[in-house]
Amino acid sequence: MRYEIRSAVDEELPVVHRIMREAFGEYRERLNPPPSALKEEVEDIRRKLAGRGGALLVWLGDEPVGSAQYYFSERYMYIGRVSILERARRRGIGSGTMAYLERLAIRQGYSETRIEVRASLLGNVALYRKLGYAIVRRRTYPDGKDGWFVMRKKLSGRTGMAEEVRHDESAGA
């Protein structure tokens, strides 16, 4: 099976929002406090990204199964709300989405990406470490029971990127 990653246009932000809410919904009862992604509305996403970032959609055939958001700061590109629907996981889509975003950062002249990951989601932390991200800071929620890591990756000089990327899962993408 093949998947395609491409930039989301403004009219697709409700789809980005729906995928994010569905993917993060599994953590509603597991995490305290619940993910702030579950409080975000489409307008919050639009406001957050306005003029300084964007969003991606990941398509498996004609079905959107993933999304991510990003914005550019002075020194790095921040990647957030990486969301892959449960039925599409374990196919390399999350890793492929991160690689796409890293190439986008390089193309825009950035040599660093950052992401924030809930400390108690050990599988997510392990995935980002496997992708070359290092923990640079730990933050704690007010109750002290959980927190999150700020993770960063220094990017190599890879250049160029097609506007649209297609991956063939049978090739181990």
CATH code: domain of residue 160: 3.40.630.30
pLDDT band at 159 (very low <50, low <70, confident <90, very high): very low
Where are the strands (E) in the chain, listed by range? Answer: 2-7, 53-60, 63-72, 77-84, 112-118, 134-140, 147-154, 165-168
Share of the chain above pLDDT 90, in %: 73
CA-derived radius of gyration, the chain = 15
What pLDDT is recorded for position 161?
40
168 sits in the region (left: phi over 0; alpha: psi -120 to 50; else beta) called beta
Bridge partners of 56?
7, 68
Mean pLDDT of the chain: 89
Q: What is the DSSP letter of 82?
A: E
The domain in which residue 40 lies consists of 2-171
Query: Residue 71: its pLDDT value, please?
Result: 95
Distance CA 54, CA 65 (A): 17
Stretch 139-161: mean pLDDT? 83
Termini Cα distance of the chain:
10
The number of folded domains in the chain is 1
Which is it for strands 165-168 and 147-154: parallel, antiparallel or unpaired?
unpaired
pTM score of the predicted model: 0.86
How far is Cα 142 from Cα 138, in angstroms, rounded to an integer?
A: 13
pLDDT higher than threshold 50 for residue 99: yes
Q: Which band of pLDDT confidence, cut at 50, 70 and 90, is reported for residue 157?
A: low
Predicted confidence band of residue 17 (pLDDT cuts 50, 70, 90): very high
Q: CA-CA-CA-CA torsion for 161, 169, 56, 27, nearest 10 degrees?
A: -140
Q: Choose between 169 and 125: higher pLDDT.
A: 125
Higher pLDDT, 74 or 169: 74
The token pair that represents 163 in the structure block: 């506007």
The helix/strand count (H/E) of the chain reads as 4, 8
**Listed ranges 21-25, 43-47, 156-160; the one with the highest mean pLDDT:** 21-25
What percent of the chain is modeled with pLDDT above 70? Answer: 90
Question: How large is the average pLDDT for residues 99-125?
Answer: 96
| 165-168: strand order across its sheet | 134-140, 147-154, 112-118, 77-84, 63-72, 53-60, 2-7, 165-168
Instruction: Decide if pLDDT at 173 tops 70.
Output: no
Quick: pLDDT tens for 35-86: 888 999 999 999 888 889 999 999 999 999 999 999 999 999 999 999 999 9
